[in-house]
Structure 1
Amino acid sequence: MSTDNNETTGSEIPAPSPAGADPTSGAAPIPGPGAAPVPGPGAAPVPGPGGVPAAGVSFTPVSPGARKRVKVIGALVGVLVVLVIAGVVAIKVMNSSRTPEAEVRKYLDLLASGQASAATAMVDPGVRNDQRSFLTDDVMASATSLLVVEDVVADKNDSSDTRMVTATMQVNGERFTHEFTVTKGASTMGVLNNWTVKDSLVARVSVDVEGYAQFSVGGVNADASAVGRNEQENDYLFYPGVYTFTPIAASEYADSNPETVSVLDDGLGGRDNVVTLKATYNTKLTAAAIEAGQWAIDTCSTIPGNQNSWCPFAIQSDAVTAVTGGSMPKALAPVSEEQPTVFRATVVFTATYNNKYYMAGTQDVEAKVEIRAQLDDNQVLKLDKDGKPDFEVSFTR
């Protein structure tokens, strides 16, 4: 039986739509085998694969004020961290300049710049006030040369609270060293180190004089003592430098002869610094000696002045009926450098004797006159009430 392709025989069964539902029909599509059920109208959406059901969970958005507070707190924490780091660094930097060496160098720099008062305030010399008269700014200002610091080195005992610091210095080209003792004190605020220099860089100077009662340095006067003084407690203290010691003449008869001395520290507290001031006398003393000698000659050339015990023995006799004296030389010199106030000259008397001692007649009597200026215990020239030198005159054969 033949069939036509456009015609069907019997009841016809429509083929399913490709998508499983007729797009023209209002029926819901029929899910295929294994397909997920399709929710009906009004049903909640079904989460996709891997989704988490949102039932019972909710999120509250962060307010702008809270976000700002979080940022501020974070910024403050950052600032605090920076400040802590900066503080630690600052403490280390400050302590790097608060070392035993730094403290000694600070002290020496004061001396090198002539700041005596500040140096004394920083390190006490530990002596009586009358020994500090030359530890002043004015005295140091008068120095022609002051301290030059070359090197400052501390020992290696870093953990000790007592350190030894050796400084190498010079004054006027003369090098010397000094070992300082430096001790650690209580820390400032518990973090800043403090060190104290214990020994002062003062040098003892023994000023020995002959012919002067006082001397001066930098406008400061002090009493002088006689040669041979050995007591250290009577020494004068100076900071290192080159100073000029000027004796103060007690009268117009002595000259003032300054002495320039390099005052150094020997490192042992000894007395290597000795200044000797010896007076030299001028022509005024020589003239006064000639005058005193002539007065003695004139006195012994009279009767009964010739009988004074200090006149030449040969003319003291009462057998002398007449006597004349000579004259002092116009030029006169001291006996020696060691005896600058003693003068001697030769004079001739002419004496006439009677027969009492069998020496009748006139004869010359040669005598040596000695004129000795009187000195006090400090070898300073004594003056009489008229301000003239006090001489002792005597005659010898």
Structure 2
Amino acid sequence: MILAICAVNYLLVRKLNRGVRKGGWKSAAVTSGLHAMVIALALLIISLFGKLSMESMGFLSATISPRYAGVFFTVLLTVFFSQFIATAPQRVGSESPLMNGARESITLIVSVLTLFAVVGIIVALVNKDEDMPWSFSLMLIPLLGTLGTYLGALAFLGALAPNVSGVASALEEFTGDSIPTSVYRLWDFADGKGAWLLVLTVVLILAVAIRIGVQRTRTERINWQRTWQLPVISLVLWMILAWLTSISLGGNITANGMGEMSAGVSFGITWYSVIFLAIGAAIVSVLAEILPIQVYRYAPALLGILGGKPAAERWISGQSQAPVVPATTPTTEATRAPEAAPTTTMPTATAEQNTTVLPAASATASASTAVNEAPALQPASESSKKKAKAVGFGVLGLAVLVGLGFGAVAYLNSQRKPEAQVEQYLDLLADGKAEKAAEMVDPGIDNASRALLTDDVLAGAKQRLEVIDVKQLSKANHGASVRATYAINGEQHEKVFTVDRGDKEYGLLDTWDLNEPLLVPVKISADQVSDVTVGKSAVHLSEAESYFGDSGSSFSGDFYVYPGIYTVSAANTDYLQVDAQELRANHPDDMEAAVTLTTTVTGKLSELALDAVHEFATACVTVPTNLNEGCPSELQDKDLKSFSVKTQASEVTLEGMDSFKSSEATFKYQRNDTEYIDYSEEEFDRSFSGTIDWSDGKPTVTVTGSTWW
């Protein structure tokens, strides 16, 4: 946007001045400064009314306002430079070194911004989401200058960084990845493939160095006195650009009971990036003294393409690059200004001009370069060209190897992204490889609790997790946050992992360590059996204590499992049947997943209890067991003439799993006659009750007594 304003203001000023540059440098600077000051003050006053207030939930309010200093200085610098460039004279006969340095700095910066703005647009269009309309790409147009500045800083090994201040830092957990929290470097660009920008940077440095070198006057040897202006002025200009392209948002937040708090978020070039850009300018300035002569010797045509044909011809002839006011004939002068004296040129200058290929340098420039007059240039011989080609191909091959090396490192680092660790871990769980997942990320629990973290359990799961998406939320020097989305039986869940940055391998390759396992706590209970099966693995449950501290007939165990749906079952016996249950372990933050196995008895237990009743009833009419406790009192007598079971009990009724009661059995008996009484045979009905004791799923039936009547 700033570059667009500069371009519009430049064209507008040129239009108003009808393309005529009046006055000198000082006049243009003073006029541009005054105009810029007036416009900046006017827009500053307008911005004082530009505030945005918002309220939320009745107790929270926020106010967003412009950066007043940013508005003032942005407008001031934008208007000043665009108007100054539009009104200042293009070049004088004896241009100062500082002005040459400024011109070279502008050439370099414009080249950087243009190239990397184009790169940014291409990358943005290639990586555009499918559901994003193409018209949305038009939003990039006002940001071309910022985009070129940011990518240029990254290409020169700089960095971009956020600055979160005030209460905004406390809101980070609510804003997710909408507020950047980590430094952004070259290898973070385009999913780690940004290293190829280094190749463009090298090509750009060489091309700009040749162009700037051609625009300098050729000398016999390197002129170090004209190499420092470019990096120094570039440093100042990059500092201004870094400040102008900083994206920031600030304001005040008011909450009931907490007062007014300030908050600010900004994002831009780091301070050391400006230094790296200035170092790049210094490299360009030094190469500008070296490369043109080499290019002329081995590829003369390239010199004119990169530097411009007129400048290349002047450089080859060794003349000053400062253009001279062209010598005019008296006729031309008289026609244009009759009152002027026709003495604008010297005859000697005209004669010299007729004997040279190009216009002669000015007397001032010739005097200043006489000490370091450049010798005549000679194209390189064929043998030298062959040697140069060999050296060139060698350097090119070396550059290709270095580029391949950087590309390989960038590719490997792109595969070593923090989300790759999370995705690899989840893929192991999705494939049922629990033991390899445990090797990759230690569960960090005791051996008893990890009994279900085995391949047999996970491979035998009814449903395992399905990886939907893995996305990096933020990345910092110490680690990164990665959000994983997975589904179990079609139901999606999210989990945010913290991935720690490890030591670089060989000093180049990134390493990431995932130390946070994805475990779900579960509880398995059973009322009668202690050995259950989860998936394909058998698990032993501990005997649970009752509320009174004694051991009961129930069993339970606390374990951890990986997300999934598991089948929990127990072995059936002749007397017990356990229905399998589903154990759903979805997410660590859900309520504890629990399952209880309920045991039911089979018909054989009733048969076993009935047989025990029959056996007990028979024992009660047999001497001497008829005296056993639990037999009917009528039969517990030694003075009986006869006793027997007339009809056995036909069925038993189970009272839970621990007791039973039988139907009535009919007994008959007769007492021994006495001297005074003759007894007849009598009959009575009694039912029996008893208990059932269980051990390892096997019952022990005991008849404990009979009814009294």
Superposition TM-score, scaled by structure 2 size: 0.41
Task: Name the amino acid aligned to 2:418.
Answer: P
Q: 5 Å matches for 1:1-397?
A: 64-129=382-447, 131-156=449-474, 158-226=475-543, 234-249=557-572, 251-267=573-589, 272-318=592-638, 320-335=640-655, 339-347=656-664, 348-353=666-671, 362-376=681-695, 380-382=696-698, 389-397=699-707
Deviation at 1:121, TM superposition (A): 1.8
Deviation at 1:223, TM superposition (A): 2.0
8 Å Cα contact 1:342/1:371 also seen in 2 = yes
Deviation at 1:106, TM superposition (A): 1.7
The structure with higher relative contact order (CA 8 Å, sep 6+) is: 1
- Alpha carbons of 1:312 and 1:151: their partners in 2 closer, same or farther (altered >3 Å)? farther
SS in 1 for 2:694: coil
Task: Name the amino acid aligned to 1:242.
Answer: I
The answer to which structure has the higher strand fraction is 1
Distance 2:379 2:406 in 1: 42
Any idea what the Cα deviations from partners look like across 1:253-303, whole Å, max 9, x if unmatched?
2235322322333337x7x22232233222222221111110001111223
Deviation at 1:355, TM superposition (A): 8.7
8 Å Cα contact 1:373/1:392 also seen in 2 = yes
Task: Name the amino acid aligned to 1:123.
Answer: V
8 Å Cα contact 2:578/2:597 also seen in 1 = no
Task: Name the amino acid aligned to 1:289.
Answer: A
Instruction: Single out whichever of 277-286 and 80-89 deviates more from structure 2.
Output: 80-89
Distance 2:703 2:440 in 1: 58
Task: Name the amino acid aligned to 2:694.
Answer: L
Distance 1:129 1:208 in 2: 19
Deviation at 1:247, TM superposition (A): 0.8
Any idea what the Cα deviations from partners look like across 1:227-273, whole Å, max 9, x if unmatched?
5699xx95333322222223124x432235322322333337x7x22
SS in 1 for 2:642: strand
SS in 2 for 1:340: coil
Deviation at 1:89, TM superposition (A): 4.2
Structure label with greater radius of gyration? 1
8 Å Cα contact 1:208/1:225 also seen in 2 = no
Distance 1:396 1:165 in 2: 71
Superposition TM-score, scaled by structure 1 size: 0.69
- Where do 5+ consecutive residues of structure 1 fail to align? 1-48, 52-56, 383-388
Deviation at 1:198, TM superposition (A): 1.1
- Alpha carbons of 1:327 and 1:107: their partners in 2 closer, same or farther (altered >3 Å)? farther
Distance 2:646 2:483 in 1: 72
Deviation at 1:86, TM superposition (A): 4.3
- Alpha carbons of 1:191 and 1:228: their partners in 2 closer, same or farther (altered >3 Å)? farther
Partner of 1:30: none
Task: Name the amino acid aligned to 1:258.
Answer: A
Task: Name the amino acid aligned to 1:291.
Answer: D
Distance 1:99 1:155 in 2: 12
- Alpha carbons of 1:327 and 1:224: their partners in 2 closer, same or farther (altered >3 Å)? farther
SS in 1 for 2:654: coil
Deviation at 1:309, TM superposition (A): 1.1
SS in 2 for 1:169: strand
**Percent identical:** 29
- Alpha carbons of 1:234 and 1:284: their partners in 2 closer, same or farther (altered >3 Å)? closer
8 Å Cα contact 1:214/1:223 also seen in 2 = yes
Distance 1:234 1:254 in 2: 21
The answer to which structure has the higher helix fraction is 2
8 Å Cα contact 1:328/1:345 also seen in 2 = no
Matched residues, number: 325
Distance 1:83 1:111 in 2: 39
Any idea what the Cα deviations from partners look like across 1:197-221, whole Å, max 9, x if unmatched?
1121233332222332422234322
- Alpha carbons of 1:148 and 1:351: their partners in 2 closer, same or farther (altered >3 Å)? same
Any idea what the Cα deviations from partners look like across 1:321-340, whole Å, max 9, x if unmatched?
533335444444422xxx13
- Where do 5+ consecutive residues of structure 2 fail to align? 1-353, 357-374, 548-555
Task: Name the amino acid aligned to 1:145.
Answer: Q
8 Å Cα contact 1:210/1:226 also seen in 2 = no
Distance 2:526 2:671 in 1: 50
- Alpha carbons of 1:196 and 1:326: their partners in 2 closer, same or farther (altered >3 Å)? farther
Distance 2:635 2:384 in 1: 132
SS in 2 for 1:211: coil
Q: CA RMSD in A?
A: 3.6
Distance 2:646 2:498 in 1: 73
